[in-house]
Structure 1
């Protein structure tokens, strides 16, 4: 949807758009995929943060010129609160800035604009009294995106969601310093190409978010979940193992920590008025670009980002164990790196939210 540059200094987003039999995006005139009621019902979530109005930052590349208008059309369509621009003094509110915190925006990119709409709308759907702060980096380079990440933290975001990455590369750990800030939760999408690792999700200072296929029960209740075949997972080639990970089949950092719905076949209903492949309207979008802002919203609901936020689920209850499915083939003696099992496994981590207690 938003391809990378020619090398590992650039990233791509991790969204997947549902397409029809001709390979064109599936567009509808009204929502035809999961929305706020489904997310909250399935994952047993409150609609508002338990304390105050936390700020969720969404870091992306390029400009989405209609981000706020599309967010409010989404909100009105689903009957949830709209957000005013922060310049009005309203709380909660929405604010869009460039990578330096200013209002001179980068060029528009249709693929990244749809990614942006996904992230903003899902984050607001999950935490409806949170402030939403959209950062638009000048490009999809690591340099520009890390500048935006740093600025998001300096501007007070306690949760920073990121739905992009590249393959792992020698020297990636130099970027880890951007995430080593206890008290701030960084969520990163694990990838959408099946078994295999990506960076920055591999960093031991972030919450690596995998993806599932979610089936609902009656009245938007939880039905079942399995591994979404597209989710990334695996054993990092370069990142050391955090003290709270105890799996034995990977001597280094294992991806993932937690997971949530990502399958574009169910997906999220996302409204985007910036033409993507010449089309506007309601898209059905998935990928771990859906699960990362969803988990960011859950962190914001809980308000518990003290310490190293990515370690919190390892010492908590309140997650549903996903025990079915795989995202590829891996070694027999470390099959949990690509196959769901009882307890911890790499594709779905410790599981999916069942309330906010694990965060």
Structure 2
């Protein structure tokens, strides 16, 4: 029984918390609403609230879901407007920051201003304050959070707190997670609208958690109205789905006319439509909030401070920009919520009266550029980059622009007053152009883009350039590379081959002495900026510096003797630095053949007659160094022609002709050898021998 009663009490508590924030005035037609009864609180608190450990989505998950950075907001202040005092808010802020690795208050990034010294407390407003402060900090960790505590939830007190916040330096966004139903006097500029009409400051308000009502101040055209979604995530923050939250308030105003930013987008409602955008709001997919214990919190109250933080990151989440970007490139800026409904309206493609344009996918909804390679982050108009972006004469900058007027067609880029290029703007308002930094004085300069309807300007600094006289290619002796700045610098430093740092004044200009093809020289200068701060200018690295001081070496050989003047030479050469490139030959070490590509063999013709010959070769490397001549000796001994011998006369034999069926060939008689002439003595000797032979023959016959 007790458990049933406890369950019933919890249900009643949840119901009361779900309806307490937006209480309708007794007479909605009066000029002055009964804002004394207004209160803002996260509308749905998870049944798992009150844990000793964190529950609900973490900053990392939300950032991943909405494509938000992990840091940013430097130099900006987000004002949080809530009622009553939250005494322990500083402690809660630091506990939340420590849990999620965010900067704590030791950096002075959280300020609290009480609109009166002695103020009441309220647990509902305390939870709202914790939600607003902690999650504005989670989304823009480097921004300053200014909490202004109004003395009461009345129109007078809350608007006074707004006026204080907007008077403080650095405030760029105001978050208001409170409101109530419309009233006729809301359109009064003097009484109400002037408080939201502050140049350079964007206002964000929760659209409400009652499903279909239109609430003030979210309905003001000077305020970005934030609706709610049901955001379902994986543990790593990747999105499973995002649908319209049933309690997200929306509709169109009974008093404000449709503003131009909505008519230009194409909306045709009879009055100002809300919400403008949306954000995770369902308590069942709520975020972690620390208020002495950990709670899982939802409601459109969660969206207003986080959209204010998004504006601090990109300085561009104004209604004019939001609708213009949605018109030009919807999917680049918003997740279009097309499923789900509140009590009256349904989500649909493009704008709808439950989730507006949808949830964010970027932090920059305005006109912005990127500069690469020097500053690749998104840069908004009138940004001073003189202390962070340094360029040199001749640098090529790629400039990309987004959010420019697509109706004009072209954008003209200027360096100060010099027209440097003109480029086309596409139908989405984007362009890309390359700009070469001209020869100008060192110091601050302005890069501006004119699209015909507006000028976009950023300031950057042209720093000195240090020139060098290095010429690429092989060098054959130690050489100096002279470094010369184009204007005064403090000093120029350098390192050769990653060695010790030297400076030109003390050590002289860089001297390259090491043989090789991969010497490096890194050099840079230091210079005083216009603010007298000394900066280190961009480093320049010269690589593949080539030095070869040693000519190639080699050999030549061939067979020691040859019977012909055409020979084959065997060759070998080496050069360990630049490599052997060519060779040439000579028979006398005076007249040389043309240079030809190095090879290990060569056909060559000796000159002159027989005898000992010398052949010379000379090698050349890729650096142009020639070797000393190398030679080899070869003996040329060509064979001498032999005399033709005379034939001896032999008796002519009678040829025997074999029978044949073919006609006999005519046999040519052999020529009779000529009888050589004999001397008288030879004749007498032959006669004597002939007589002796006759006697011998005669005697034998007898």
Query: In which range does the TM-score fall when normalised by the shorter chain?
Result: 0.7 to 0.9
- Alignment check: 8 A CA contact 1:14 1:288 kept: no
- Alignment check: 8 A CA contact 1:14 1:191 kept: no
Tell me, yes or no, if structure 1 residue 243 matches structure 2 residue 265. no
Residue among 78, 92, 103 paired with 1:70:
92
Q: Which residue of 1 aligns with 2:186?
A: 172
Q: Which residue of 2 aligns with 1:311?
A: 320
Q: Could you say if the C-alpha distance between residues 151 and 135 of structure 1 is closer, same or farther in structure 2, counting changes exceeding 3 Å?
A: same
CA RMSD of aligned residues (A): 1.8
1:179-222 per-position Cα deviation (integer Å, ceiling 9, x unaligned)? 01231110000001101100000001010001100011362122
The DSSP-based 3-state class of the residue aligned with 1:158 is strand
Distance in 2 of aligned mates of 1:83 and 1:133: 12
| 1:60-99 map, 5 Å | 60-84=82-106, 90-91=107-108, 93-99=109-115
- Alignment check: 8 A CA contact 2:275 2:355 kept: yes
Q: Which residue of 1 aligns with 2:70?
A: 47
Q: Which residue of 1 aligns with 2:311?
A: 299
| 1:63-212 map, 5 Å | 63-84=85-106, 90-91=107-108, 93-99=109-115, 104-156=117-169, 157-174=171-188, 175-212=192-229
Distance in 1 of aligned mates of 2:127 and 2:257: 34
The DSSP-based 3-state class of the residue aligned with 2:260 is coil
The DSSP-based 3-state class of the residue aligned with 2:254 is strand
- Alignment check: 8 A CA contact 2:334 2:358 kept: yes
Distance in 2 of aligned mates of 1:165 and 1:267: 21
Following superposition, the deviation at residue 303 of structure 1 comes to 2.5
1:96-129 per-position Cα deviation (integer Å, ceiling 9, x unaligned)? 1123xxx725211111011000000010010000
Following superposition, the deviation at residue 284 of structure 1 comes to 1.1
Which sits farther off after the overlay, 114-123 or 338-347?
Answer: 338-347
Q: Which residue of 2 aligns with 1:333?
A: none
- Alignment check: 8 A CA contact 2:251 2:273 kept: yes
Q: Which has the higher strand share?
A: 2
1:58-78 per-position Cα deviation (integer Å, ceiling 9, x unaligned)? 001001111111011011112
- Alignment check: 8 A CA contact 1:322 1:348 kept: yes
Q: Which residue of 2 aligns with 1:334?
A: none
- Alignment check: 8 A CA contact 2:46 2:297 kept: no
- Alignment check: 8 A CA contact 2:41 2:124 kept: no
Tell me, yes or no, if structure 1 residue 288 matches structure 2 residue 300. yes
Distance in 2 of aligned mates of 1:301 and 1:163: 20
Q: Which residue of 1 aligns with 2:42?
A: 15
Structure 1 length-normalised TM: 0.87
Structure 2 length-normalised TM: 0.45
Distance in 1 of aligned mates of 2:173 and 2:320: 14
Q: Which residue of 2 aligns with 1:270?
A: 289
Q: Which residue of 2 aligns with 1:30?
A: 53
- Alignment check: 8 A CA contact 2:24 2:181 kept: no
Residue among 320, 335, 338 paired with 2:335:
320
Distance in 1 of aligned mates of 2:334 and 2:364: 8
Q: Which runs of 4+ in 1 moved over 6 A?
A: none
1:125-154 per-position Cα deviation (integer Å, ceiling 9, x unaligned)? 100001000010000001100000111000
Distance in 2 of aligned mates of 1:304 and 1:160: 14
Distance in 2 of aligned mates of 1:321 and 1:358: 15
Q: Could you say if the C-alpha distance between residues 110 and 323 of structure 1 is closer, same or farther in structure 2, counting changes exceeding 3 Å?
A: same
- Alignment check: 8 A CA contact 1:216 1:222 kept: yes
- Alignment check: 8 A CA contact 2:229 2:278 kept: yes
1:271-290 per-position Cα deviation (integer Å, ceiling 9, x unaligned)? 102xxxxxxx1111110000
The DSSP-based 3-state class of the residue aligned with 2:284 is coil
- Relative contact order, higher structure (CA 8 A, sep 6+): 1
Following superposition, the deviation at residue 9 of structure 1 comes to 2.4
The DSSP-based 3-state class of the residue aligned with 1:244 is helix
Q: Which residue of 1 aligns with 2:422?
A: none
Q: Could you say if the C-alpha distance between residues 232 and 14 of structure 1 is closer, same or farther in structure 2, counting changes exceeding 3 Å?
A: farther
Q: Which residue of 2 aligns with 1:230?
A: 247
Q: Which has the higher helix share?
A: 1
The DSSP-based 3-state class of the residue aligned with 2:357 is coil
Distance in 2 of aligned mates of 1:287 and 1:105: 30
The DSSP-based 3-state class of the residue aligned with 1:15 is coil
Q: Could you say if the C-alpha distance between residues 257 and 131 of structure 1 is closer, same or farther in structure 2, counting changes exceeding 3 Å?
A: same
- Alignment check: 8 A CA contact 1:214 1:224 kept: yes
- Alignment check: 8 A CA contact 2:211 2:247 kept: yes
Following superposition, the deviation at residue 358 of structure 1 comes to 2.5
Residue-pair matches, total = 327
The DSSP-based 3-state class of the residue aligned with 2:198 is coil
Distance in 2 of aligned mates of 1:47 and 1:161: 21
Distance in 1 of aligned mates of 2:357 and 2:25: 34
